[in-house]
A and B are shown apart, each in its own frame.
Chain A
Amino acid sequence: MFLLRICMMAASSLRANLMRSILACLGVIFGVAAVVSAMAILEGSTRDAVKRFETLGADQIIVTNGNDGRRGQRSVVRLSLTHADADALGELESVENTAPESLITAQIKYFEKNLSIQLLATNQNYARINGYKPERGRELTKQDVISGRKVCVLGYKVAKELFGETPAVGTRVRIGGLGFTVVGVMEKKGFLGMRDVDEQVIIPLTTGLTRLFGNKYVQFITIQAQNSNELDSVTQEVKRKMRVEHSIRAGEPDDFRVMTKEQITQSVGGFVDIMAIVLYSIAGISLVVGGIGITNIMLVSVTERTREIGVRMAVGAKRGDILLQFLLEAGVVSVFGGGLGVLLGRGFTKMLENVTVVLQTYTTSRSIMMALGMAFFTGVAAGLYPAFRASRLDPVEALRHE
């Protein structure tokens, strides 16, 4: 009750000096706005990434180029994965299917229409592993891959944009200057992992590697395990098999990396953590600056209200009461600034979403509470020195103050 009354007193002095209070907590406003937008962006991108990886099957293991060494040593990734690796891994007892994948950006052309697409070169297992089915025509066959046929399967949006309502299957298109026959159109799927497969065109791996990509290496191999409960042991088996295939002697490091879906999600999380540290540092600096602003204005306020402090002491305020009053006042001013900061931050993230389109933000009530809590403690910490000075005033001197 006493605290509530003191808060109300603080609010009334805030109202009495509204403009000055806003200016004083400008730093806090921006600090909190930074915290709120940072958390919204981080939360949004984490959720986005997690959501995308959710689309990958739980039974998948991904093999990529490069080794598991320290981050600094990965700046140059040596390509090592081949089509043969994928086939060899496919022979393992515990592995259901493997799909070698290579991806480039390419142009697809149908008469006058020209479209930029993700071109995926893979094998017949890709669609099955991902539970991705053709809507019209067929998917890639083993024969397409063995013979290196110039056939392609279009993603949903690609077909829509190039052909509209007219049937696409059987027509000839040009991809990267090479003629292909459309044998199928995939169903509408959206994101599969990090990319929108509706904007993707699938061709046989052999065709892609020999005629378009200009190298014999694949970018990654997706493995579907027999049993999703044994991913750890399958991962170990895959590693052993890969070392044999690549003739790596004992003691030498791997020239590949094996990750489960969970590990990929975690590594995204790790990146987000680094972003978070950077953003929070910026927010922290703004809050410190904001705190100095509040200290400053509270010192002015204490001087201006010296007589009031004297009167309060005369009518029975203890030194502790005065200390508490000014601390809470600083806290209230700061939380007020924090509230404005939350609004500013929300406005900023909404604007970012509208401008960038792809960026997802997500403001949780937890992040708002946290930002306001930070603002409050900044205020209280900033108010410590002024409040202490106020509480140490001599009542007689304070009452004489002009």
Chain B
Amino acid sequence: MIELRQLRKHYKMGDSIVHALDGADLDIGAGEFVSLTGASGSGKSTMMHLIGCLDRPTSGSYRLDGIAVNRMGDRQLAVVRNRKIGFVFQTFNLINRTSAVDNVAVPLIYSRKTSTKTAAMAALEKVGLTKRASHKPSELSGGERQRVAIARAIVNEPKLILADEPTGNLDSRTGEQIMAIFHQLHAAGTTIVLVTHEMDVAAQAKRIIRMRDGKIVADEILDDAKRSALQAEAHAGSQPVGSPT
């Protein structure tokens, strides 16, 4: 699904060059549930922007679903984001002046679908929010807003869901509900990449990738033993964020 080879991203900051991503090699297969963790400045946001086709690498190659996206122009990237990727953000990023169902329909509009209502309602049903379809985001709770955002992410039935700290603005109980939806999507075959610095959230994935200073420093499959260990550490608060195990 995702193949990164020596992917680099450099920024100019004044006179110095920041190596936000410094030669990442990564393969994520279709249907995997992966968390990407690391401290702020570790390069995980840059990684997410590159995987999400929001940004282009300085060098290296990136194949998404078999297509070399690192050579694509703005227009083609927009199409890739529209068809293959669903984004879920920490701050939900809904459009406040329109209803939940209209928010969900936005990606459909950009894929020039003639009828959007049915698909949007179906997506809302998957997150259990059909009853709130005509409510505006301001009339919804945080958890409901994030569910609307997830519905928007899945409305075009993308192969990849990219979630950036999806539980960061929610209390732990609501966060668990949101995570339950990701588990459902994963069970249905969608590839999920979850960017987070919360260890107990990251531990829910099947595989965990840790980053530091623009490099991947650890990449391991989580079995039940490791998961419990991670969760225990997270709850004890002794887990230094982003440190390799």
Shortest distance from the beta carbon of B159 to any chain A beta carbon, whole Å: 14
* Minimum CB distance partner of A1 in chain B: B114
User: Contacts of B67 on A, CB cut-off 8 Å?
Assistant: none
Interface pair B110/A314, CB less than 8 Å apart = no
User: Contacts of A396 on B, CB cut-off 8 Å?
Assistant: 49, 54-55
With contacts A5-B109, A308-B95, A399-B89 taken as known, whether A314 is within 8 angstroms of B54 at the C-beta atoms is yes
B93 within 8 A of A: yes
Instruction: Indicate with 1 or 0, residue by residue over B78-108, a CB within 8 angstroms of chain A CB atoms.
Output: 1101110001010001010110001000110
Interface pair B78/A313, CB less than 8 Å apart = yes
Instruction: Indicate with 1 or 0, residue by residue over A366-396, a CB within 8 angstroms of chain B CB atoms.
Output: 0000000000000000000000000000111
Interface pair B106/A312, CB less than 8 Å apart = yes
B74 within 8 A of A: yes
With contacts A308-B95, A399-B93 taken as known, whether A315 is within 8 angstroms of B54 at the C-beta atoms is no
CB interface residues, A 11-28, toward B, < 8 Å: 12-13, 15-16
Interface pair B82/A315, CB less than 8 Å apart = yes
B112 within 8 A of A: yes
Among candidates A12, A307, A316, A394, residue contacting B79 with C-beta atoms closer than 8 Å: A316
Shortest distance from the beta carbon of B166 to any chain A beta carbon, whole Å: 14
Q: CA of A72 to CA of B95 in the docked complex: distance in angstroms? A: 64
User: Contacts of A49 on B, CB cut-off 8 Å?
Assistant: none
A111 within 8 A of B: no
User: Contacts of A317 on B, CB cut-off 8 Å?
Assistant: 78, 110
Interface of A is mostly: helix
B111 within 8 A of A: yes
Q: CA of A12 to CA of B109 in the docked complex: distance in angstroms? A: 15
Q: CA of A314 to CA of B152 in the docked complex: distance in angstroms? A: 11
CB interface residues, B 42-82, toward A, < 8 Å: 49, 52, 54-55, 74-75, 78-79, 81-82
With contacts A315-B87, A395-B54 taken as known, whether A16 is within 8 angstroms of B110 at the C-beta atoms is no
With contacts A5-B109, A12-B97, A311-B95 taken as known, whether A316 is within 8 angstroms of B83 at the C-beta atoms is yes
Classify chain A: how many residues form its interface, as a range: 20 to 34
With contacts A15-B97, A307-B93, A319-B74 taken as known, whether A312 is within 8 angstroms of B110 at the C-beta atoms is yes
Among candidates A12, A307, A316, residue contacting B81 with C-beta atoms closer than 8 Å: A316
Shortest distance from the beta carbon of B34 to any chain A beta carbon, whole Å: 20
User: Contacts of A319 on B, CB cut-off 8 Å?
Assistant: 74-75, 78
* Minimum CB distance partner of B94 in chain A: A311
Interface pair A16/B109, CB less than 8 Å apart = no
A321 within 8 A of B: yes
Q: CA of A262 to CA of B172 in the docked complex: distance in angstroms? A: 87
User: Contacts of A16 on B, CB cut-off 8 Å?
Assistant: 97
Interface pair A318/B78, CB less than 8 Å apart = yes
* Minimum CB distance partner of A395 in chain B: B54
* Minimum CB distance partner of B86 in chain A: A315
Interface pair A316/B78, CB less than 8 Å apart = yes
Instruction: Indicate with 1 or 0, residue by residue over A292-320, a CB within 8 angstroms of chain B CB atoms.
Output: 00000000000000011011111111111
Known contacts A2-B112, A315-B81, A316-B79; 17 further A-B pairs (Cβ under 8 A): A1-B112, A5-B109, A6-B109, A311-B89, A311-B106, A312-B110, A314-B52, A314-B54, A314-B87, A315-B106, A316-B78, A316-B81, A316-B82, A316-B83, A316-B156, A317-B78, A396-B49
Instruction: Enumerate chain B interface residues (CB-CB to A < 8 A).
Output: 49, 52, 54-55, 74-75, 78-79, 81-83, 87, 89, 93, 95, 97-98, 102, 106-107, 109-112, 114, 116, 152-153, 156
Instruction: Enumerate chain A interface residues (CB-CB to B < 8 A).
Output: 1-2, 5-6, 9, 12-13, 15-16, 307-308, 310-321, 394-396, 399
6 pairs, CB–CB < 8 Å, chain A vs chain B: A312-B106, A312-B110, A314-B81, A316-B78, A316-B83, A399-B89
The 5 closest A-B pairs by CB, nearest first: A316-B82, A16-B97, A316-B110, A315-B107, A318-B78
